[in-house]
Structure 1
Amino acid sequence: MKPIEVDSLVDGQKIGALVIRIVILSLLVQCADGFDLAAMSYAAPELIRSWHFPASELGPVFSAGLVGMAVGGPLFGYIGDHYGRRTAIILSTVVYGLFSLLMAVAPDLQIMLALRFISGVGLGGLLPNTVALNAEFAPRRLRATLIIVMFMGLAVGGILPSVVATTLQHDFGWRAFFVVGGAAPLLLAIVLYFLLPESIKFLLTKKGANAKASELAAQLRPDLGITPETPLTIAASRQGVNAISPALLFADGLGWITVLVWLLFSAALVVNFFVNSWMPTLFRAAGLSSDQTAVTQAAYYVGAIVGGLIISRLIDRWGIVAIAGYFLIGGPVVAAIGIPGLSHYALTGVVFLTGACVLGSQLGMNAVTGMIYPTSIRSKGAGWASGVGRIVSTAGPVLGGWLIARHTPLPQLFLVPLVPLVIGGIGALLLIYLCYRRFRGLRLDETAAKAAGE
């Protein structure tokens, strides 16, 4: 019986129930990431009033979650490559949910900081493994699109705290955000246990898992009549992925590509967390009501949905070119948030465009890591990119807190993100050249890189 190569099996599929189920479940998982930062931002004004501390002291609490994510990305990337994407996703969801729930009963900022760090470790494990799982089930022609559709969960999750703010917060205070943000992932983990499949490619690397791989392959391609006896093969991959070290991310011509991927991740994340962490507090201080602030903050994530959907198709066609465009457009858009005298409607429109550019570029980079790296180090590649980006992004909330403590005027405050956006734009232009050489074109095609022998 002629063996079937998994890449050709996946690329030749018509999108069916199995892939749709994986994308939807992954989207729900990603809601946790979007909810987490936005929930802390919404809880911040009432925490400041309830516990009587300066707003600048929240900077380390915001950053604690980012440091946790930076640890969790590489750690769970290793777990995903060694023990399976499904196992890592479920474990990450449980850790995040449990420690988020405990934040609802935190007695002071120090305990909240510690709990936020641990919940961040769990949260950091979601990105690399959902990227890897979706990349390994998505056909090449739609890979970026499906990964970014999955990451729409970030935007959906970012909108949900505004619902909590306008419904539950009035009765239950700031704790409502962490009860919802903790209980929902724990319930989702149960659903994932029963419904989330493992990657076919990963199963084929493990002894005794071929029957399960054949079952999933048959669901993916019912037209091929696959049975447990049908031999499935995967392209030879470099060994040594069981180490947490990022050394393989710099081998086989990936060195400078990895450096620039980390740079772009860092630039997108530092701007996102700088802007997103402080918008509610700054808008309230500027005179907006709590409901107006909720609507304006939600516009950031609605913009992300629109920007993410657009960039998904652009990446599938033009690769990194789309990322460069988003970075360069994002600079003047973010700066416009600080224009004095904007009406509430105008401010909401500017925040919408900011979400489209800033979170859109972040969503695009999430997809890119799922396409640049080969299967054997895909979770590792996404995990390290996310981890490095999160470490750098801790500077965003802390810098914002320091500038607020110095009473920096709003127009000057929102000029600060121009620096990482310009650096990201330049880095993206360099990455276009390197990826063009590696993939023999603008599209990020792993098969082309293998054929080139790199």
Structure 2
Amino acid sequence: MEGKLATDPRTLIHREPMSRFQWGVVATMIGLNALDGFDVLSISFASPGIAAEWGIDRAALGIVLSMELVGMAIGSVVLGGVADRVGRRATILGCLALMTGGMLGAATADGVTILSAWRVLTGLGIGGMLAATNAAVAEAANDRRRSLAVVLMAGGYPVGTIIGGMISAVLLAYFDWRAVFVFGAVASAIFVPLVLWCAPESIAFLMHKRPPDALARINRTLGRMGHPPVESLPPASETETRKTPVGALFSTALARATILLTLAYLAHIMTFYFILKWIPKIVVDMGFVPSSAAGVLVWASVGGASGSLLLGLLTARIRVLALTIAAMLASTALVILFGRGQSDLTGLSAVAAIAGFATNAGVVGLYALIAQSFPTGTRATATGFIIGIGRGGSALAPALAGFLFAAGYGLQTVAILMALGSTVAAIALFGLRGWRQPEERAA
């Protein structure tokens, strides 16, 4: 480390190979998204026990299953903007506090209303978390590995449901449904010191906001990456000094990406959550015990993790947009196949796995597209807005499916209707062909 460089530190990150430290940041964010995956689906693991203990029907259960999605929508929009103002790291730590409190509260709930309120609080933390981690991963990775890093981060979600499902199956064999939420609270709390140790604020964010100690913090992070320090920071550009409210997402430069990605996410995530939220209840209604239901959901998540990994590996050879459109079309077909039903657990697990493969590949592809479609100053805001609007609408998915079931429609009919969301998403993504975000156009 001889002398100091007079260069933009972002250039080092964009062009140089990824260091162990950078991959460590990515790994931490993968873990956080895995935690999100478990916390979202904890209500699915617990739902058969809740329905049996409280005697609630499918329509009421569908509303409970939707509550954290409402919180996630609000958290994504509100806390996504916060992540662009106060930082990715501070937002992540605040979200972990919300998630820990929400999970502990859910374990003490004694009725649908109280449980729903705690699930909304948990959802607030989950929604803000994903907006912040998506931006943090995109800014920790170099240009060559950015899409792969974001896809791997998003792939943490099904990994969390796999691990969480396996643990939930054991817990439900010995304890009641409350144990699932207690485990989630403990896991959320454990991540606080891990983030403090492994995930400093991103250099791109510090360059954008320019706090008084920006140079010292940037040089500390560069040192952990194995790069020499910089002597001074280049002058801030106009876009770095300008505030970035949500309205900026609808500027001439960004409106196309904002509208099309929001529509795609909203449509596809309804299909995604139909599968994940209703598998346990469908399995129990077929006559199997709740621990078996958790096992089928684990297989859906195994398929989801495999879809994430395959899409990530293919990003080195095929454009993310083309991969994501293909995943959406496959999702439509496989969710319809899931709706045909199976007579045994083995067949149901296999169909759930391949449906999870396609639906989750579509989701992680969307996260990669969001990360590459917006500049640093709007990346977390855009992620939060798109995910927030999408999840706000998708909160209707479990409830809508519940009302359709209650109205007498069979699984096959409901599955066909819910699968159409992925088709709409594929159509919206066709409109992104040829799109380049403003920072790339200026390069």
Normalised TM-score (structure 1): 0.91
CA contact (8 A) 2:15 2:143 kept: no
Q: What one-letter code is carried by the residue in structure 1 that aligns with 2:213?
A: G
The residue that corresponds to 1:135 in the other structure is 138
- Which residue pairs with 1:195 in the alignment? 198
Amino acid at match of 2:129: L
Checking the alignment, whether the CA contact within 8 Å between 1:67 and 1:117 is kept in structure 2 is yes
Q: Distance in 2 between matches of 1:109 and 1:291?
A: 22
Structure 2 counterparts to residues 251-290 of structure 1, below 5 A: 251-290=251-290
Deviation at 1:190, TM superposition (A): 2.5
Q: Deviations over 1:272-307 (max 9, x none)?
A: 111111111011112334343222211111111111
Amino-acid identity (%): 25
Q: Which runs of 5+ in 2 are unaligned?
A: none
**Which letter does structure 2 place at the counterpart of 1:321?**
A
- The offset of 1:36, in angstroms, is 2.0
Quick one: which amino acid aligns to residue 75 of structure 1?
V
What secondary structure, in the 3-state scheme, does the structure 2 residue paired with 1:191 have? helix
User: Which residue in the other structure is 1:393 paired with?
Assistant: 394
Q: CA deviation at 1:265?
A: 1.1
- Structure 1 residues not aligned, in runs of 5+: 440-444
Structure 1 CA distance for aligned equivalents of residues 342 and 398 of structure 2: 25
Q: What is the one-letter code of the residue matched to 1:287? A: G
- After superposition, the Cα gap between the structure-2 partners of 1:346 and 1:373, relative to the gap in structure 1 and judged at 3 Å, is same
**1:450 and 2:442 matched:** yes
1:19-30 paired onto structure 2 within 5 Å: 19-30=22-33
Deviation at 1:137, TM superposition (A): 1.2
Matches within 5 A, 1:302-381: 302-315=302-315, 317-381=318-382
Which whole-Å deviations, capped at 9, do the CAs of 1:186-228 have from their partners, x for residues lacking one?
A: 1211321233211012223222221110121233243xxx23x
Q: Among residues 211, 215, 220, which one is paired with 1:215 in the alignment?
A: 220
The one-letter amino acid of 2:211's match is K
Shift of 1:234: 7.8
In structure 2, do the counterparts of structure 1 residues 175 and 118 end up closer, same or farther at CA, with 3 Å as the change threshold? same
CA contact (8 A) 1:72 1:387 kept: yes
Instruction: Report the Cα distance in structure 2 between the residues aligned to 1:193 and 1:250, rounded to whole angstroms.
Output: 34
Task: Give the superposition deviation at 1:446.
Answer: 6.1
Contact kept, 8 Å, 2:103 with 2:182, in 1: the verdict is yes
Contact 1:5 1:235 in 2 (8 A): no
Structure 1 residue aligned with 2:248: 248
The alpha carbon displacement at 1:2 in A equals: 5.6
Cα displacement (A) at 1:119: 1.2
Q: Deviations over 1:360-389 (max 9, x none)?
A: 111111122111100111110111011011
CA contact (8 A) 1:13 1:220 kept: no
CA shift at 1:73, angstroms?
0.8
Contact 2:34 2:160 (8 Å CA) reproduced = yes
Instruction: Indicate the SS of the match to 1:275.
Output: helix
How many equivalent pairs are there? 437
* Contact residue 214 and residue 232 of structure 1 kept, 8 A: no
- For 1:40 and 1:339, how far apart are their aligned partners in 2? 25
RMSD: 1.9
Alpha-carbon separation, structure 2, partners of 1:391 and 1:220: 38
Instruction: Give distance in 2, aligned partners of 1:235 and 1:294.
Output: 51
How big is each residue's C-alpha offset from its partner over 1:21-53, in whole Å with a ceiling of 9 and x where there is no partner? Answer: 211211111122211232111111111111111
Question: What's the offset of the Cα at 1:18?
Answer: 1.2
Contact 1:82 1:241 (C-alpha < 8 Å) held by counterparts: no
Return the alpha-carbon distance in structure 2 between the equivalents of residues 283 and 322 of structure 1.
31
Separation in structure 2 between the aligned mates of residue 385 and residue 200 of structure 1, nearest angstrom: 24
Secondary structure of the 1:104 match is: helix
- Offset at residue 143 of structure 1 (A): 0.5
CA contact 2:300–2:357 (8 Å) conserved in 1:
yes
Match of 2:185 in 1: 182
